[in-house]
Amino acid sequence: MVASAAFADTPGIDRREVRQHERIAQGARSGELTRGEARRLRAGQRHVRRMERRAKADGVVTPRERARITRAQNHQSRTIRRLKHNGRTRV
């Protein structure tokens, strides 16, 4: 049982999730993100977390599942950057 738990560890994915959450929070605080943009980004983060939870459910995160989660995080990261720099600000 212990060995399979090691396969389900996703420290890189988890760290990236925390950093992306911090980027969203900072953008919302600074006004770089509108409320709607921040809401949309938080929904995207929830989607990635659900993907990760499903992948871990059987105790093993396969390389294919890990790649899929990474692609979703890449997409989320690009979206965060695009929305933070689109010139719209919270009023």
CB count within 10 Å of CB 65 equals 17
Pairwise CA distance, residues 43 & 45, whole Å: 5
User: What is residue 62's predicted lDDT score, i.e. its pLDDT?
Assistant: 95
User: What is residue 90's predicted lDDT score, i.e. its pLDDT?
Assistant: 80
Residue 89 lies in a domain: no
Residue 91 lies in a domain: no
Residue 90 lies in a domain: no
Q: How many domains does the chain have?
A: 1
Q: Could you tell me the pTM of the whole model?
A: 0.85
Residue 29 lies in a domain: yes
User: What is residue 7's predicted lDDT score, i.e. its pLDDT?
Assistant: 64
Pairwise CA distance, residues 6 & 19, whole Å: 23
User: What is residue 2's predicted lDDT score, i.e. its pLDDT?
Assistant: 46
Residue 49 lies in a domain: yes
Low-confidence residues of the chain: pLDDT under 70 = 1-7
Q: What burial class does residue 67 get, using C-beta atoms within 10 Å of its C-beta: 0-12 exposed, 13-18 middle, 19+ buried?
A: exposed
Domain that holds residue 74: 2-84
